[in-house]
Amino acid sequence: MKVLLLGGTGEARRLADLLVAQDIDVVSSLAGRTTNARLPVGEVRQGGFGGVEGLMDRLQDVDALVDATHPFAATMTEHAAEAAQRTGTPLLVLRRPGWSATSGQWVDSADVAAQLLPQAGTRAFLTIGRQGLDAFAHTGLWTLARCVDPPEMLPTWCTLLLARGPFTLEGELALLREYRIDVLVTKDSGGAMTSAKLEAARQLGVPVVVIRRPPLPPGVQAVESVDQVVEWLQARR
Ligand code: NAP
């Protein structure tokens, strides 16, 4: 059985570990845009496929497609759903559970988050990756933005912190205090690697704005754990 695994997440790396250990022929695919990306074990390919048609070509010699990309990698997930449907390739999406228990203001986009924050004087901590930052450029907020890699155009209007999780509660508490943060803006990424900030904000009474996940394409089958993906693949062997 040959599996194409769309990755770029810790879950995808763990899945590659398990599949290689079980002698399942897996090729992990990365977008190739993160510097010093942690590579999964086994065969790895990097770079986009060239849209749906390119992915369809790649699926010709594949028995199953697993989409374990980040919950906010919506374009890749849409392409995977369409390419799988058009080629008849079995597809399973792995989506780690979100942070639905987080109390705060839930919004649909970075633009909406930027519009609803109070302005002058507010000190906002943005943990939304580099892609949504521009929404905050003209808000007049003081902003600290934490990203893994710098945006292509370095923003002059915010303080940039380059760091990769996992983050600890102690570290997040210290950060919120040091920068005197009074609102946290985050995406509903889910997972334990970056969730300490939510507890730190709760302990310090810092309000949280959470950007909702993009919806999954209609009709795709999704599971929440790496083990469920392994079971699904074993059932098809
Ligand atoms: P995206 O907007 O959904 O995808 C844009 C394009 O990048 C896709 O159309 C595809 O190009 C290429 N691509 C994305 N993931 C790929 C993969 N695993 N293998 C090969 N090509 C891929 O994706 P994104 O939000 O920029 O995320 C890029 C990667 O970073 C993903 O692998 C994701 O798992 C990881 N990541 C994303 C976030 C986030 O917040 N978005 C956070 C952590 C990690 P073609 O159309 O040319 O095929």
The DSSP secondary structure of the chain, one letter per residue, reads: -EEEEE--SHHHHHHHHHHHHTT-EEEEEE-S-STTPPPPSSEEEES--SHHHHHHHHGGG-SEEEE---TT-HHHHHHHHHHHHHHT--EEEE-----TT--SEEESSHHHHHHHS--TT-EEEEESTTTTGGGGTTS--EEEEEESS--SS--SSSEEEE--S---HHHHHHHHHHTT--EEEEE---SSTT-HHHHHHHHHT--EEEEPPPPPPTT--EESSHHHHHHHHHTT-
Residue 176 pLDDT exceeds 90: yes
* 118: pLDDT strictly greater than 80: no
194 in ligand 1 pocket by Cβ < 6 Å? no
Q: How far away, in angstroms, is 188 Cα from ligand 1 center?
A: 17
Q: 73 CA distance to ligand 1 centroid (A)?
A: 5
Per-domain residue ranges of the chain: 2-95+214-234, 105-211
Are the beta carbons of 76 and 6 closer than 8 angstroms?
yes
| Residue 68: strand pairing partners | none
CA distance 185 to 135: 12
Q: Which is it for the CA torsion 148, 110, 68, 11, positive or negative?
A: positive
The residues, any chain, with a CB within 8 Å of residue 99's CB and separated by 6 or more, are 188, 189, 190, 195, 198, 210
40 close to ligand 1 (CB < 6 Angstrom): no
> Which of 22-31, 32-41, 109-118, 133-142 holds the top average pLDDT?
22-31
Q: Is the pLDDT of residue 125 over 90?
A: yes
Tell whether ligand 1 has an atom less than 6 A from the beta carbon of residue 6: yes
Q: How many residues does the chain have?
A: 237
For residue 237, which of 22, 43, 92 has the smallest C-alpha distance? 22
Q: 105-211, superfamily in CATH?
A: NAD(P)-binding Rossmann-like Domain (3.40.50.720)
- Token representation of residue 54: 């390119």
Do the domains 105-211 and 2-95+214-234 match in fold? yes
More confident residue, 103 or 211: 211
- Ligand 1 contacts CB of residue 48 (under 6 A): yes
Residue 50: its pLDDT value, please? 98
- Please give the pLDDT value at position 26: 98
Q: Please answer whether residues 6 and 32 qualify as being in contact, where contact means their C-beta atoms are separated by less than 8 angstroms.
A: no
**Confidence tier at 237 by pLDDT (50, 70, 90):** confident
pLDDT tens, position by position, 66-95: 999 999 999 999 999 999 999 999 999 999
pLDDT of residue 119: 72
Kindly list the distances between the CA atom of residue 233 and the CA atoms of 24, 114, 122, 228, in Å, as whole numbers in the listed order: 9, 42, 49, 9
Q: May I ask the CATH class of domain 2-95+214-234?
A: alpha beta
Count of alpha carbons within 13 angstroms of residue 128, beta-carbon side:
28
Pocket test for ligand 1, best of 14, 76, 188, 193 (most atoms within 8 A of CB): 76
Percentage of the chain modeled with pLDDT above 70: 100
User: Which residue out of 69, 128, 194 has the highest number of ligand 1 atoms within 8 Å of its CB and is therefore the one to mutate?
Assistant: 69
Structure tokens at 157: 């209007």
155: pLDDT strictly greater than 90: no
